[in-house]
Amino acid sequence: MPNNPMVAGWESPSNIALVKYWGKYGDQLPKNPSVSFTLSKAVTTTEVTMVRSDQHKDIELSFLFEGKENAAFASRIEKWLNKLVQDHLPFLRGSIIDVSTKNSFPHSSGIASSASGMSALSLCLCDLLYQTKEERDYDDDFYKQASFISRLGSGSACRSVYPEMAVWGGHDQIPHSSDEHAICIKDQIHPVFKTFHDDILIVSAQEKKVSSTAGHHLMNGNPYAPARYQQAHDRMTLLMSALHNGDVSTFGKITEDEAMTLHALMMCSDPPYMLMEEASLAIIKKIKTYRADTGVPIYFTLDAGPNIHVLYPEEFQSQTENFITSDLLPHCHEGRIIKDKVGNGPKKIK
């Protein structure tokens, strides 16, 4: 391996799940399959410089988030890197690694940055691995490996390395699907979904009271868990067919049912907890009423938090934007919104 510095830089997007991953086993493996839209504007840009050091056996990490040191992020990444060195990326052993990372969306905007952040860093690490092997072809195996590495950092991040849409988790009727890494399904979806909009309404920018890690863990004692995992499999079958056929109303029904199920599972955990706010419910009700009154196919989903993702086809953009501005924005924290849409996946920048 050369002693001169190696550099890699990638921009990687966030993603929003339609059928949700909620509950895990083993080393970040999902209890049920999930499917997501890859976003385009909510991205993390990461640059990594790696120098081989003869004096080190372990990894020495320096980590900058938006130009500043961040001890909490650094310690999470250091733990993950040490695991990777042992089991999957031994070429990193004994190196000095400088990571510099920034988000396109403001910190504490209520947007989870783990999917974009972990996938951007994983892409950089796989890029460095390819450089050591003098590989220049970023082929399917490259993205598969980046997805696998991302998964070990943050489960849902493994879906962010692909354009348009990705499936993560083994499913009998989805060829090549796996618990170990996500797969790209862009060739299996109708064109209407390739330009779908996702306007993210920021209801609260506060840190979550219960982390996703704790939420996944609580599924282990949830009496509804077995039925939930079966339901997610069944909904995947129905949603994959709707995605293929361009059936927007079936897509919308399953997507909304999934968001409600996710939050219901939180409310019936032991101890129970709630991440929706009054404003989340007000927005959901208004979306349903507007859809019923106008026939405009506008739907919602939520992550593990109070913010609402408003999903609609491109052709309804102007109508929907007017409705959002007049009726939904007043419920948002400081009128905040991130207007995103389905995107083309990560980009190599260095």
Q: What are the residues binding ligand PMV (CB under 6 A)?
A: 17, 20-22, 34, 114, 154-156, 212, 262, 303-304
CB of 236 to ligand PMV, least distance (A): 12
Residue number, 52 or 181, with CB nearest to ligand PMV: 181
Q: Which amino acid is at 334?
A: E
Distances (CA, A) of 193 to 35, 41, 242, 273, 338: 13, 17, 10, 33, 19
Under DSSP, is residue 170 helix (H, G, I), strand (E, B) or coil?
A: coil
Residue number, 8 or 225, with CB nearest to ligand PMV: 225
CB of 319 to ligand PMV, least distance (A): 29
CB of 97 to ligand PMV, least distance (A): 23
Cα 313 to Cα 331: distance, rounded to the nearest angstrom? 23
Residue number, 6 or 166, with CB nearest to ligand PMV: 166
Residue number, 174 or 304, with CB nearest to ligand PMV: 304
Distances (CA, A) of 117 to 47, 109, 149, 252: 11, 15, 12, 28
The CB density around residue 315, as the number of other CB atoms within 10 Å, is 12
CB of 192 to ligand PMV, least distance (A): 22
Residue number, 24 or 291, with CB nearest to ligand PMV: 24
**Of residues 140, 87, 150, the one with CA closest to residue 118:** 150
Residue in this structure with the two tokens 């892409």, named with its chain if needed: 123
CB of 81 to ligand PMV, least distance (A): 18
**Segments in 62-139 forming alpha helices (H):** 71-87, 114-132
Q: 51 phi and psi, to 5 degrees?
A: -125, 135
Residue number, 145 or 154, with CB nearest to ligand PMV: 154
CB of 113 to ligand PMV, least distance (A): 10
